[in-house]
Structure 1
Amino acid sequence: MAKKKGYLKGLGARYGIKLRKKYSIVHRVLKSKRKCPECGSSQFGRQVVGIWSCKKCGFKIAGYAYDIKL
Structure 2
Amino acid sequence: MAKKQTTLKGLGPRYGIKIRKQFTQVHHLMKQKRKCPECGGPVIREAVGIWACKKCGLKIAGTAYDVKL
> Structure 1 vs Structure 2: percent identity of aligned residues?
66
* CA displacement 1:9-29 (0-9 Å, x = unmatched): 211110011110011001100
**Displacement over 2 Å in runs of 4+:** 2-6
Matched residue count: 68
Task: Point out where structure 1 has 5 or more consecutive residues left out of the alignment.
Answer: none
Partners of 1:29 and 1:57 in 2: CA distance:
23
Q: CA RMSD in A?
A: 1.6
When normalised by structure 2's length, the TM-score is: 0.88
More helix as a share of residues:
1
> What are structure 2's unaligned runs of at least 5 residues?
none
What is the TM-score of this pair, normalised by structure 1? Answer: 0.87
